[in-house]
Amino acid sequence: MPGARPGAARRIQPPRPPRRPGADPLTGAQFFIPGPAKGSAASAIAQLVGLNPKTMPLTESWASFAQDLSTGSLSAKLARNPGLAHEVTELSKIAAEPEAQRLSIYSEGGGPGAIFGQAEKIFCSNLAADPGSIPIFNTYFLHAKLGGCPTTAQIDDYMPTFRRQVNEMAEATDRRPAVFLLELDALGSSGCMAANGALPTWEAALRYEVNTMGALPHTVVYVEGGYSDSNSVDYTARALNAIGIDHIRASSPTTPTRTGRSTRSAGRRRSPSAPTAPTSSSTPLTTATAPAGAQPGQERQRRPLQPARARPRPP
């Protein structure tokens, strides 16, 4: 507004319209950015300016909401309150970024059909706020249910339920493009299982999830690769090779997922046919992983990831 005090809200830049990436989720992909109805930061902003995100439509995008913050009554409200404007500006930096969608034992109670229902809701309803975008999912089943030091018997007891949950997630995804960051705390907190003998069974469970999701035709799959202060490079290399790092990717809880930026990790497989993700500067991961096929004792490397094409589903 002419003559109004410049407010932080005027510096909010709505994201560019999404582009359809085709078969590979990371080829020019615009990752899903939720609007105020579902986005953590966007809904916090809505509450700050006096709106109720629970009553806001699922179809309202962050771009539309950001435009509302920059014009009209909301803009005037922010211009009159520099403190509020600053808070909105800071939260907007988060709201304008892709937000991973969690699938876990807690999703809709975790019972039969719950994981399928939650995944379908994200694909069919939540993504209406950012049409054409690619969702990023992270999963939290194993550690959430079993903790960091289960026995072989405890893992075996959970496996029928775990397989059902993974199968439901795969069934809901089907041929839709998506990125999966599998199993928060999968390796970072697994050292105790190496001592009690349960690690091979844990690795087999992870391998099942990796193979199931990686077999879908339009998915890119990563697995959590630990933290720099958790396990040694030797330990992590052995575990990642056992899980099947040769046809997936390693990630860390600190993996950046910004739109138009490639993730970086020490766990990388060379693939001549792998399309290159959009590249720009990005903070290297600190996860203690080694390249696919790494031998114990091999020096850790830091290389930018290239997403591989998921293996086609058998006919």
Residue-range domain boundaries for the chain = 29-95, 101-304
CB 65 within 8 A of CB 85: no
Instruction: Report the range of poorest mean pLDDT among 131-145, 229-243, 290-304.
Output: 290-304
pTM confidence score: 0.72
Q: What is the mean pLDDT of the chain?
A: 77
**Nearest Cα residue to 139 out of 100, 173, 172, 108:** 100
> What pLDDT shows up at residue 183?
94
Read off the pLDDT of each residue in 56-77 and give the average, rounded to a whole number: 95
> What pLDDT shows up at residue 5?
43
Indicate whether 90 pLDDT > 60: yes
pLDDT tier for residue 25 given thresholds of 50, 70 and 90: low
Instruction: Report the range of poorest mean pLDDT among 85-89, 169-173, 262-266.
Output: 262-266
Whose structure tokens read 């629970």? 54
CA atoms within 13 A on the CB side of 179: 31
Residue 148, SS3? coil
Distances (CA, A) of 82 to 41, 42, 66: 19, 19, 17
> What pLDDT shows up at residue 286?
25
> What pLDDT shows up at residue 85?
96
Read off the pLDDT of each residue in 75-100 and give the average, rounded to a whole number: 96
pLDDT tier for residue 8 given thresholds of 50, 70 and 90: very low
